[in-house]
Each structure stands twice: as structure tokens, then as C-alpha cells.
Amino acid sequence: MIGLLQNLIDALSLGSIYALTALGIGLLFGILRLINFAHGDFITIGAYALIVPSADVTARMLIGDFNIALMLPAIALIVIVAALLTDALVFRPLRRSSPPTLMIGSFAVSYIIQNAVLMMYGSRPKAINLWSDANTQVIIGDLRVPMLQVITLVVTLALMAGLSVFLKKSRYGVQMRAAAEDFRMAQYLGVRGNFVIGLAFAISGILASAVALLYVTQSGSLSHTMGVPLALFAFVAVVIGGMGSLVGAVVGGFLVGFIVTMLQAYLPPDLRAFRDAFAFAFVILVLLVRPAGLVPARNTVERV
Amino acid sequence: MKPLLEIDQIHVRYGDMTALRGVSITVAESEVVCVIGPNGAGKSTTLAAVAGGVKPFRGEVRLNGTAITGRAPERIAALGVSLVPEGRHIFGSLTVDENLAIGGYMRNDKAGVAADRARLLDLLPRLAERLHYPAGRLSGGEQQMLAIARAVMTRPRLLLVDEPSLGLAPKIVDQIYEILLDLRRRDGLTLLINEQSSNRILNHADRIHVLRAGVIQLEGRAEDLRDGDAIRHAYFGFGHQAPAAPAALEAAP
């Protein structure tokens, strides 16, 4: 029983990371029909921004040593700038291109970012110690909950609530939702297309920087490909949840976290190496039953 | 008097298909001009070319004498052109109120936006009752009213309306026209309306253009065209092509 609870808490924490990443991908997909595989590399940028650029094996903190009140906005700002630059240099020239073209563009961005990180920081993974205090455990009865998992969940819920309030209550949020549903019609009503897209990139940058900090604290290491598996699993989460639906992206993120954690815990040891294969088999199963995802987006269903 | 809108010999192509071949239409301030024509004649393309949705490869669109050809839709909207597209394009997952709000966001006069909203809700009590419903749950007629109200919230000088009667019961269509003409009377709104059939619009429009196969076949004042023969000829192209099938004739305007 305690074992199961412990696993559930792990699943929630991993699911939070996937859900936040999936939200960043889902937001851009909703507005731009862009499947942004470079989102994982935005996370990498946020993580590497913590340390001094050098090829040394041991990481020396740069922004990572700042006071937290300064560090959070600094990391967020760097990732936002990277995201906006990506839009300006790559996706704006491709504005009238088809979704597959945009996706291939995002692969290009992904490789460029990875190689830039490689050149500046070297190829070897680096150990990094961010907020080691957060690894203390809270003991509730027989249950040991790492503080970090609690923080992860709280931060995730707070960001989701913030995003939800922004989308529902602010004029820019309403414009973004309108643009996600019918971009051209929104433009006909005076919604500035490039502005709304830039806003979506900026928000996905904020989400990516939050994931970067949580993930680095958890894993304690940096590598130039660290964002790739995150983006892949988050993309799977977006697909399971229903392309274009933000609620779906969150549901999908938590579900993927749950599946991966449970497989890791309960698969026979011999099969654990194939955990991801089982996870993706489950995804195929979900899509066979619900091809439009668990929470289909209204507008994409109509478009078919 | 200087025309508010001049569509000057525009040509529009979609890939290999040419949709418009030198279409010219002028609309004066406070005028109601209607373009009628069969499906696929290029009516929607004409309105989209004015609103910035498609870019003509030849010809020019001028608003108050300034060329706006090829500008982004949101910039044309900011100049006072608003489109009620065919199929309405309501934001179905947004509430009725949010749909209206979208139209007002580009304006700077908060008081004016609030006043317009109140006035439109007064005019359209059925929308007022459903302000916080998702707009996708409205009936077709209500959605059409919302699409018009949303466009009017941008406080346009020129309202482009694409087939407002499409798929709606005749009684509802009468209401829609009442609303449009009411807005024109009160605000001096200029209207450019597309329709497939001429029977209703002849009573409301000042001038009529018949568009077929991407070319204006006929234009004139509505009162001169009332007997309908000239319109029928232009619409079906008698004398140029084989006569239309009898079934089509019965459905003729």
C-alpha cells in the first residue's frame, strides 16, 4: 500500500514535468499548427543558462548562484528571448507554410540549439547541484515524500492556474484563444497575428524555463540532449490528450507520467529495459480507441 | 463624391485556378452595394481581397483613395473594414460575450466599446440572454447575428457581409437584413453584401453587380434591374454558353 502511494507520488511529480512541457508544445500547436520539437531544447537552454559557459566537466554556477528572486526571472528571460528569436528567424519566414514544413523547421532549430550548446559547453554531461535542500524528505506516517516532488507539483499547479486565468480573463488571453480557434477570422477582427504568436512563444518559454529548473534539480545533471526525451514524451502526451486542446495536454502529461512510473515500478526486472516500448504500445492502444485523443479539441475535430 | 471603396481591376489566382479576372466595384459612403452570382463565381474571393485574406496578383484595392492591396488583414481591419464571412466563423469555444469583446479590442475608446456593446445587445436581445454561453451552442440564425454584431464592434466604416442568408430560414433572413439596414440608418454604415439570389436584395440594395466566372457580367441600380430579365441573363450567361438546365431555371432568382 505504502509502495503504491509512493509510486503515485512519483507519477504525479513526473507527470507534472511532462504536463508543463506538453502545455508549451500544445499552446504553440493551437495557434500556429506548429509541432515544436525544439521545445525540449528551450528547456536545455534554461538549464545551461545556470552555469558559466565553458567546456569544464564540473559546472560553475553563474545565474544559478543568484538570489532566487533574481534567478527565476533571469532564466525565464533568457528562454523567452531564445523562443522569440526562434520565431523571428525561423517560423516567421515560414508563416504561410504547411504544418509539416513547420515541424521540420522545428527539427532544424532543435539541432542548431543542441550544437550551439555543444560548442559552448562541451559534449560531456555535467553534474550540477541546484537547490540540494529540496531533496530532503517530508515524512508522513510511513510515507517519505521528497520535498522536491511537492515543490514540482505545487509549481505546476500554480503555473496552470496562472495560464488558465490569463487565457480566460485577460484581453490577450481571449485573443489567443480566438486565434487558436480561427486564426484568419481573428485577424479580420483586428487581432494582430504576429503579436499573438509572439505571446505564445513567450509563454512557452516561461513554461520551458520552469521545467528546466525543476528537472535539473531533480536529475542533478546537464547534457546538450537533455531536452529531447522530454519533448518526445510531452509530444506523446499532447497526442494522447488531443492535439490543440490544452486541457488534453495536461491530462496527457499526467497520464504519460503515470504510465511510465508504473511500468518502471511493476514491470518484471527483465523487461524494465523495454519500459518505453511498453509505454508507447499503450499510447497506440489509446489512439486506436480514441483517435482524436482523450479531450479532443473542438476546432480540430470540425476541420477534419 | 469620392467612393469609400474602389476595387480596381483585381485578378486573383489560387494555384492554377483563376478566381477573379479584372473585377471592379466601387462603393460610395453609406451606400448598400450587392454582388450576386452563383456558387464559385468569385464573390467570397472579392470580399477576401478587400479584407486582406487573399492578395490580388494584379489590380488594386483602395480605401478612401489609399491603396490597401496586400496589407495584413489586421491592418485593414484597423482602417475600418470588417468582414462577416460566409459560414460565420464564430469562435465556438468562446462565450458570446468574448466573441463580441474580440471585435472591440483594437479600439482605444473604452467608453465607446461599452456603449456599442450595450446598444447591440439591446438590438439583439437573444444574444443578451445568452452572453455567457459558448457561442458554438447558438442556433444558425443567432450565430449569424453574433457574427454581424462582432464585426460591428470594431466600429467599421465598411462592412463586408458574405451570404448572410445562407442556410437560414426566410424569417430569420428578414431579421438579419432588418439589423443590417438598421445599422446603416443609424451609423451611416456602408455595406457590401454577397448573395446568391437577387429576390430579396433588390429591395434593399442601392446598386447590384452580377458576378459569374470571375467577371462582372452586369451592374446597375437596383431599381433599374427590378424586372429581373437582365439579371437572369447575366447570372446564367444566356447567349454565351448553353442554356442552363430547366431544374436550375426553376431555382432561378
Query: Which CATH number characterizes residue A60's domain?
Result: 1.10.3470
Mean of pLDDT over chain B: 87
> In chain B, what residues touch A178 (CB-CB under 8 Å)?
91, 94, 98-99, 102
Residue of A175, A184, A192 lying closest to B102 (CB–CB)? A175
Tell me the shortest Cα–Cα distance from B15 to chain A, in angstroms.
Answer: 14
Q: Which ranges in B52-204 belong to alpha helices (H)?
A: 73-78, 96-104, 110-123, 125-129, 140-152, 170-187, 201-204
Mean of pLDDT over chain A: 89
Mutate to test the interface with B, among A170, A183, A188, A300 (most CBs of B within 10 A): A188
With a cut of 60, say whether residue B252 has pLDDT above it.
no
Which of A193, A216, A192 has its CA nearest to residue A132? A216
A16-64 pLDDT, tens digit each: 999 999 999 999 998 988 999 999 999 999 999 988 887 777 777 888 7
Cell numbers given for B12 = 486573383
With a cut of 70, say whether residue B110 has pLDDT above it.
yes
Q: What is the pLDDT of residue A298?
A: 65
Q: A191 — contact with chain B (CB < 8 Å)?
A: yes
**Contacts for A187 with CB less than 8 Å, ≥ 6 apart:** A179, A193, B52, B72, B73, B74, B77
CB A303 within 8 A of CB A250: no
Q: Where does residue B75 rank: exposed (0-12), middle (13-18), buried (19+ CB within 10 A)? A: middle
> In chain A, what residues touch B89 (CB-CB under 8 Å)?
182, 185
Residue of A174, A188, A191 lying closest to B94 (CB–CB)? A174
A224-258 pLDDT, tens digit each: 999 999 999 999 999 999 888 899 999 999 999 99
Q: Kindly report which listed range (A251-260, A266-275, A289-298, B133-142) carries the lowest average pLDDT score.
A: A289-298
> In chain B, what residues touch A189 (CB-CB under 8 Å)?
77, 82, 102-103, 105-106, 150-151, 154
What number of C-beta contacts closer than 8 Å exist between A and B? 74
Determine whether the interchain pair A189/B98 forms a contact, defined as Cβ–Cβ distance below 8 Å: no
CB A73 within 8 A of CB A87: no
> In chain B, what residues touch A174 (CB-CB under 8 Å)?
94, 98, 101-102, 105
CB B138 within 8 A of CB B96: yes
Tell me the shortest Cα–Cα distance from B84 to chain A, in angstroms.
Answer: 9
CB B36 within 8 A of CB B210: yes
Determine whether the interchain pair B106/A178 forms a contact, defined as Cβ–Cβ distance below 8 Å: no
- Give me the interface pTM, i.e. the ipTM: 0.89
Cα angle, residue B135 at apex, residues B129 and B141 outer, rounded to 5°: 75
Residues A60-86: what's their mean pLDDT?
A: 89
**Domain enclosing residue A261, as ranges:** 2-303
Determine whether the interchain pair B105/A191 forms a contact, defined as Cβ–Cβ distance below 8 Å: yes
Q: Which residue of B has its CA nearest to A190?
A: B74
Determine whether the interchain pair B89/A187 forms a contact, defined as Cβ–Cβ distance below 8 Å: no
> In chain B, what residues touch A184 (CB-CB under 8 Å)?
53, 73
Q: A188 — contact with chain B (CB < 8 Å)?
A: yes
Cell numbers given for A87 = 520565431
**Contacts for A274 with CB less than 8 Å, ≥ 6 apart:** A267
- Report the Cα–Cα distance between both ends of chain B, in Å, rounded: 32
Q: How many domains does chain A have?
A: 1
> In chain A, what residues touch B88 (CB-CB under 8 Å)?
none
pLDDT band at B228 (very low <50, low <70, confident <90, very high): confident
Q: What is the pLDDT of residue B251?
A: 43
What span, in angstroms and rounded, lies between the C-alpha atoms of B44 and B51? 11
Q: Which residue of B has its CA nearest to A189?
A: B103
Q: Which residue of B has its CA nearest to A175?
A: B102
Determine whether the interchain pair A188/B77 forms a contact, defined as Cβ–Cβ distance below 8 Å: yes
pLDDT band at A304 (very low <50, low <70, confident <90, very high): very low
Give the count of beta carbons closer than 10 Å to the beta carbon of residue A232: 15
Q: Where does residue A273 rank: exposed (0-12), middle (13-18), buried (19+ CB within 10 A)? A: exposed
Strands (E), A72-188: 126-127, 137-140, 143-146
Q: Which residue of B has its CA nearest to A298?
A: B93
Which class in CATH covers the domain with range B3-85+159-250?
alpha beta
Which of B199, B200, B229, B195 has its CA nearest to residue B211? B195
CB A19 within 8 A of CB A257: yes
Q: Which residue of A has its CA nearest to B105?
A: A171
Q: A189 — contact with chain B (CB < 8 Å)?
A: yes
Determine whether the interchain pair A188/B53 forms a contact, defined as Cβ–Cβ distance below 8 Å: yes
B residues 58-117 closer than 8 Å to A (CB): 72-74, 77-78, 82-83, 85, 89, 91-94, 98-99, 101-103, 105-106
A117-145 pLDDT, tens digit each: 999 988 888 888 887 777 788 887 778 88
What span, in angstroms and rounded, lies between the C-alpha atoms of A202 and A31? 13
With a cut of 70, say whether residue B198 has pLDDT above it.
yes
